[in-house]
Amino acid sequence: MNNLFNLVKKELRELMTLESLISIAVVMILFVGLGYMISDQTEQAMEPVRMGVINYDDQGSSTYYDTVNSALDGMYDPATRDQYLIKLYPSSILTDEETISLMQEKGLSNLLVVSPDFSDNIDNGTQGKIKAYYISANTGAFGGIDSDSVQVFVTVVNGAVSTELMNNELSVTPEEAAFLKSPVSFSMPDNYTYINGKLYSDITPSAISGAMMTQTLMVPIIIMIVIMVVGSIVISSMGTEKENKTLETLLTLPVKRTTVVSGKILASGIMGLVYGAAYMVGMYAYMSAMTASAGAVNLADYGLVLEPVDWVITMLMMFVSILCALGLCMILGAFVKNYKSAQTMTLPISVVAMIPMFVFMFVGWNSLPAAMQAVMFAIPFSHPMMVMQNLMFGDYVLVFAGLIYCVAFAAVTVLITVRLYNSDILLVGFGQTRLGRILAKYKKAD
């Protein structure tokens, strides 16, 4: 135990340098910043849309001019309406280019144009025309908001004109028109969703999964980054030990090879956990910023929240999966010749970590076909990527099965590593073994 402590202390002293601590802090700050940036974007998206309108239907006798105007006015709070609904009155009908110039002049990114023959067409039994102009600037995740808002505006105008039309043509009152247009009642509170043993009446599964995807989107990325970082740490450490010839000294000290291997894995695992915890803190701030945004579904309202014990399980899962990665890296590290060759050895681990990352960024465990579930379960890095969602939904069987699997996986990799440490490969290299020489001969013959 004393030897293990001595080794872990030495490894940590080498790993926890000022440079590594600064890099952890920078990543944490980046996550927090990212959260606030997205929160800011979300809040901006939740603000009333600034909409420009040119109604060419203003012919004095037009039937639906007032209807369209009232419908648009009704979309805004009267107190702030003039700020957001920008009505424009050009002296003549503008060309497309002139319309865009006017939008640029007024600082508008979207504009509705009601055609001059709007009312006449409707009066004659044909559809009235509305056109929309956009100046595309935001190409990010919220780039679709302008066009979505215009669609809502057109729907509202359509409804108002339809009601007016029914009143004019069929003498139907607005109330009757509303009924005729929507005889079936179905609104958000009419959705009943059973979550973790409780029935909620104002949420749909797609809203839940959408919110969950948004909030846990970064988890697989973080896990992958941590695995790549700690993998690189341990393989590089092996490369450095060989390059500096400290490995030979270490292996002739009165300490069991199991202790040497455990010391390296444990110290790198602790380092990985520090990285993971720092990223988690950053991610927590990121998630908080996201959920604090107006209109976002707050998963905690539906019991989908991680309790302190769940966070402990999450961290434990992360730690154990890091140990799996480290075990694999130690096996690969046994074959590295020096620090330089160690750098390329992390590639296989990174690729294996990327597979579940891409899968769980877009698909949940239950949506996967059985064969894919088996593959994902077999990759130890999948488990920390899906643990938060599984804990929120109370799927403890999958969580603990994954935990046990990861512990067993890590133990097997440690045993293989110890075996390698007891063999000649570590010092003389794979090329000096019988298999290595056969392969080299085969390659030469090629």
Partner 1 sequence: MDALRVENVHKIYGNIEAVKGINFSVKEGEIFGLIGPNGAGKTTALRMISTLITITSGKITVCGYDVAAQGDDVRKSISYLPEDAGAYKDLTGRTYLRFIAGFFTDGEETEKMTQRGMDIANLGDRIDSKVNTYSKGMMRRLLIARAIMTSPRFAIMDEVTSGLDVMNAHDIRELIREIAGSGVTVLLSSHNMYEVESLCDRVAMINKGEIIMQGTPAELKAKYDAKNLEEVFIKGVKSVEQSV
The tokens for 333 are 């590290």
Pairwise CA distance, residues 402 & 317, whole Å:
8
The answer to the question of residue 115 lying near partner 1 (CB under 8 A) is no
Minimum distance, C-beta of residue 4 to partner 1, in the bound complex (Å): 11
Stretch that binds partner 1, among 6-14, 48-56, 71-79, 228-236 (CB under 8 A): 6-14
Which residues lie closer than 8 Å to 376 by C-beta, 6 or more apart?
356, 359, 360, 365, 368, 382, 386
Report the side by side order of strands in the sheet with 85-88.
Answer: 85-88, 51-55, 110-114, 130-134
Cβ pair 386, 353 in contact under 8 A: no
Residues numbered 384 to 423 that lie near partner 1 (CB under 8 A) are 423
Q: Which stretch binds partner 1 (CB under 8 A): 107-115, 338-346, 379-387, 428-436?
A: 428-436
Tokens of 423: 């063999």
Q: Report residue 368 as tokens.
A: 């996967």
Cβ 109 vs Cβ 47: under 8 Å: no
Handedness of CA 357, 362, 363, 364 (dihedral sign): positive
Q: Is there a contact between 64 and 118 (Cβ–Cβ < 8 Å)?
A: yes
Six-digit token string for 290: 């996201």
Q: Which of 434, 443, 445, 446 binds partner 1 (CB under 8 A)?
A: 434
Q: Tell whether residue 21 is a contact of partner 1 (CB under 8 A).
A: no
Least separation in angstroms between CB 432 and partner 1: 4
Q: What CA–CA distance (Å, rounded) separates 133 from 31?
A: 36
**Judged by CB, which is closer to partner 1: 337, or 437?**
437
Of the candidate residues 135, 180, 411, 427, the single one contacting partner 1 (CB under 8 A): 427
Interface residue with partner 1, options 37, 300, 347, 438 (CB under 8 A): 438
Number of residues that bind partner 1 (CB under 8 A): 29
Residue number, 9 or 181, with CB nearest to partner 1: 9
Please say whether the beta carbons of 245 and 427 come within 8 A. Answer: no
Nearer to partner 1, 253 or 372 (CB): 253
Kindly report the backbone phi and psi dihedral angles of residue 372, in degrees, each rounded to the nearest multiple of 5, phi listed first. -70, -35
User: Smallest distance, Å, CB 6 to partner 1?
Assistant: 4
Provide φ and ψ at 5, rounded to 5°. Answer: -60, -45
Q: Are 242 and 337 in contact (CB under 8 A)?
A: yes
For the CB of residue 197, give the shortest distance to partner 1 in the complex, in Å: 53
Which span sits near partner 1 by CB under 8 A: 1-9, 99-107, 139-147, 295-303? 1-9
Q: Which is nearer to partner 1, 152 or 439 (CB)?
A: 439
Q: In the range 206-245, which residues lie near partner 1 by CB under 8 A?
A: 244-245
Compute the least distance from the CB of residue 219 to partner 1, in Å.
32
**Whether 55 contacts 109, CB under 8 Å:** no
In the complex, the smallest distance separating the C-beta of residue 278 from partner 1, rounded to whole angstroms, is 21
Site for partner 1 in 242-271 (CB under 8 A): 244-246, 248-249, 251-256
- Shortest Cβ distance from residue 11 to partner 1 (Å)? 9
Q: Does 3 bind partner 1 (CB under 8 A)?
A: yes
Return the closest-CA partner of residue 318 out of 220, 423, 198, 397: 220
Site residues (vs partner 1, CB under 8 A): 2-3, 6, 9-10, 13-14, 17, 244-246, 248-249, 251-256, 423-424, 427-428, 432-434, 436-438
